[in-house]
Amino acid sequence: MVKKRAISADERGDVETENRTGGSYLKKKKMMKKNLQRLGGKGLSLEAFANAKTRSNDYNPSLIKKQKEFYKNAKFVKKYKRMVKQQGEHGDSSVAKRAPEKQTEPGEADNADRKGKSKRNKPHNLNELYMKRREEEEKARMEREAIIEAKKEERQRAEVRRKELRQKMFKKTKSGQPVMKYRIEHLLQTLQGSNS
């Protein structure tokens, strides 16, 4: 025996709307739900919108610029202090006073001597280092220029030889025939060059 189920008024309404629109009511409802989820819900309330607009979003170009400038200046100051330390021109005498206060063990004294010796070998003055590097660069530049000049002269000599050979090869007799003397000499030279 098959039980028949009674159709409620709501279900009849769904069927009627389905028949009228030609599409499934549930399908449309599902699509609406998906669209709401995709768009982020039904939207913000007025209060939430106002709070979102007044809240700072941590992007302030002027603050970022100030921070960049601060770090840049700090970098320059650090570089300057390092250079002053290397040159041995300490403006702060307290650093010089602190060094003797340190007590060193016998093993550490050897290390200190080694460090001092390695520093002595290095040029103390940045000017000396600059001049040394400058001289090396100047030498390298002069060598490059000499090589370029030699290549240029060789190229000019080869060009002159080719011009002379070309003139000889294109010489004609009174009747317009090519002069064979130069052509035969050229052939002889190439044969002798290939044999040796």
pLDDT of residue 188: 92
Residues 67/69/71/75 CA torsion (nearest 10 deg): 180
Beta strands in 6-83 (DSSP E): none
Lookup result for tokens 């002379």: 164
How do residues 33-57 score in pLDDT, each as one tens digit?
A: 887 777 666 666 777 777 766 666 6
**Residue 106 clears pLDDT 70, i.e. is over it:** no
Listing DSSP states for 73-104 in one string gives HHHHHHHHHHHHHHHT--S-HHHHHHHHHS--
Do residues 178 and 172 lie in contact, with contact meaning Cβ atoms separated by under 8 Å? yes
Instruction: Report the SS3 class of residue 172.
Output: strand
Nearest to 180 by CA among 169, 191, 167, 188: 169
This prediction's pTM? 0.31
Q: 68-104, pLDDT tens digit by residue?
A: 999 999 999 999 999 988 888 555 544 444 444 444 4
pLDDT band with cut points at 50, 70 and 90 for residue 23: low
pLDDT digit string, tens, across residues 109-144: 555 555 555 555 565 688 888 989 999 999 999 999
Question: Any residues with CB less than 8 A from the CB of 42 and at least 6 apart, and which?
Answer: 36
Q: How many CB atoms lie within 10 A of CB 183?
A: 13
